[in-house]
Amino acid sequence: MEEMVENTKKMKNKTSYQPSNSWSMKFFPMATIVVFVSFFLGLGAAFLDFGIDKIRVWLFQWDKGRMIYFFLLPVIWMGLFFISSWLLNQFILAAIKQGKCRSPFAARILAFLSSLGFYLFLDLGHYMYFQDLHLLALLDHLFLRGTNLQNPYFYLAALIEFIILSYLLTYWAKDHALWPFCEDCLKWFEFRAYISFNREDREKLMDAFQKEDWKNLPDPLDNHEKEKAGYEIHISMCPSCRFKGPAQLILCEIDKDDFALDLCKTWLEKGDFEEWWNQFPSGKQGYK
């Protein structure tokens, strides 16, 4: 009975990381630069599409060339679209990280404006070079002959493509701004320590982790047998406060290629974290 009371008390006190919704002086100028970069990435992708389309003339000189062109062109065009959106995403995430943006809302706005800028200039470029739009050119190439800018479905398709792009970029940006940040030291958290577990202990580990019932964690692996790990608790902390501050714990599944898949996460307050860490013998405490 007493144990139950204590458990419910623990559940009620369960805290999670709360972002401060602020950013550094650098964020606004950096965000402005990223929005301008998005224009150039859009125009650049359209210009490369245009250059690749020129290869058609050369390929069409010989019979198999037509086939190669027909199959290769959509792949290259979509590839260019993905590479330039990936690059744009890197710029957005860098501005959030360097500008210390802890506001998921501001991060979303930046990502939305950048994807809008990218997409408008991509289509503007396509319009300048081909007199059509990015997705329209692709559909035109695959299914249709002769561009018809009057067809409303083309605009609908272009709108859907834009919505998917901006959804992904805003999602990643928000996620980045929600990464824990130490407001005392003005530093992002870093993944600095970990505890490893056996693959067979899955159930017990998941249960203890989700309930934060740390006394019932399965026995962790020793440091010299960590390569056998099936699960790991990845611990991120302020690089200056270290074990004296709070920490974010992420329970991960480790696959054969050493790739870590996040399962669930929790937050330990200042003081609680140091106590939590010290429950493990030093031979089982892994440092990154």
Summarize as ranges the residues that interact with Zn ion (CB under 5 A). 49, 77, 134, 182, 184-185, 238, 240-241
Provide the 3-class DSSP secondary structure of residue 260: strand
Output 115 or 196, the one with its CB closest to Zn ion: 115
Output 102 or 134, the one with its CB closest to Zn ion: 134
The least CB distance from residue 107 to Zn ion, in Å, is 21
The least CB distance from residue 50 to Zn ion, in Å, is 9
The least CB distance from residue 283 to Zn ion, in Å, is 27
CA angle 244/248/252 to nearest 5° reads 135
CB 198 within 8 A of CB 221: yes
Output 126 or 176, the one with its CB closest to Zn ion: 126
Residues in the chain, how many? 288
Instruction: Cite the DSSP H helix spans in the chain.
Output: 2-13, 27-59, 63-98, 104-130, 134-142, 152-177, 202-211, 272-278
Helix axes 63-98, 104-130, angle to 10 degrees: 150
The least CB distance from residue 56 to Zn ion, in Å, is 14
Output 28 or 130, the one with its CB closest to Zn ion: 130
Provide the 3-class DSSP secondary structure of residue 262: strand
